[in-house]
Amino acid sequence: MTLGDVERTPSRRPWTFVAVSVMVAAVGLLLIGLSQVPPIQLLPGYTAAYLLIGACIFGPPGKLPSLRQAVAFLLPGALFVVLAMLNLGFWAGGWLLGLPAWGLLLIQWTPEKPLRVLEVIKFLGLLVLGVVIFTFNVIYPFPSLGLFLLPVVPFFRLAYPEYRVRPLQTAVEVLVGVATVTVVFAIPPLEGSWSSPWTLAGGGATVGLMIASWARGLPRRSQRRQLNEGVIV
């Protein structure tokens, strides 16, 4: 069997778009909640969002993550929670922006395919850029328009044959995208706040889609390189 045969065969892939939508809603709710209650009270919601994003990434392919994948996925979030509990900044919220993409990197980490240092560095660079965009989005909210892409992107992806064979996933992505936008606009704005819930969530949507799109392209680029080299599996 050649790689060309593998690429033409439908495969079960992570539900990346749903993971990004969950992250968007979680970031909006958590940051609004942070201005009203102590960080410790937000821990159950943060944990639930974290695990749900992990289920979207690791669950659909049908394989439980290995021990090292699970540790690498959960440990950064736990460390940032500790910093938040010590009042050293809500860095856990910033980490959520890149969590779907981080899961996509880890799902490729196998004994046969080590995690490349260059890919981790690129991910961290994009995450830093994303946090900067998210921060300045409060002043210049143009990136917030990314929120309205959530219900639309799944329809555009139907132009690709690989998505046409997964109508259930597409339907779920559309519903989750619509639900996310609805939830965000249902959150009442805070008095005296410089930002509204939809601008916070919109900035998170733009950053999350940007980093996740990069991470999703890594397996394809790797396969193309192998195909050009005539690899047979």
Domain count, the chain: 1
Structural domain contains residue 233 = no
Q: Considering the chain, what percentage of its residues have pLDDT values greater than 90? A: 31
The residues pairing with 232 across neighbouring beta strands, listed in sequence order, are 2
Which amino acid appears at position 164 of this protein? Answer: R
* Nearest to 90, CA basis, from 53, 46, 123: 46
CB-facing half-sphere around the CA of 93: CA atoms within 13 A: 26
At 181-232, the pLDDT tens digits run 998 888 877 665 667 788 888 999 999 999 999 988 765 544 444 444 443 3
Instruction: Tell me what the mean pLDDT of segment 11-23 comes to.
Output: 85
pLDDT at 39: 79
What is the rounded average pLDDT for all residues in the chain?
Answer: 81
- Residues of the domain holding 35: 3-228
pLDDT tier at 42 (50, 70, 90 boundaries)?
Answer: confident
Structural domain contains residue 37 = yes
